[in-house]
Amino acid sequence: MTTPAIRVAEPDDVPALSELAKRTWSDAFGDGLGSQDEAAELGEGRSESFFADALGTTTILVAEEDGALLGYVQFGDVTIPEVDAEPGDRGLQRLYVETVLQGRGLGRSLLEAALCHPLLAEAKRVYLQVWERNERAVRLYESLGFRKAGTTTFTVGDQVMEDLVMLLDKEGE
């Protein structure tokens, strides 16, 4: 695999981005949910309309090779309810890579590109949430300076779930 290009997502990317998001999210979490809960999450948080709106309120970087989207990272304001965000804080909202390409450094490349983007590079603190059992993701975040800072709850369909909250505190470095 050659090194994919990482660039800012554009409106023309929305259909492919939605398909990538649905596929990677289902691969990661679909087995643990009922079909109705999975369908609700895909329809609300991974649809074309979701990404069309998200392009106006967040920054999304995509990894692309030969016209195919292979992964994406989305960031902007802190959206974790349990976090008392201060001015200058930002949130890393999503990082997903095609399942068959995981473990090859693409997620790290996307995350590093996001952290170099002015929105996150100038942030005092960067928060994210991640499933505690996603050990590969937790290790990746820790390797780039994030530390565990608490937990958050959220719903998927009718189920209440819990994630770790991780923090990159640039002022505390």
The residues annotated as belonging to the active site are 141
List of residues 6+ apart from 146 with CB closer than 8 A: 126, 128, 166, 167, 168
Backbone torsions φ then ψ of 19, nearest 5 degrees: -65, -45
Rounded alpha-carbon distances, angstroms, from residue 165 to 10, 21, 130, 168: 29, 21, 7, 10
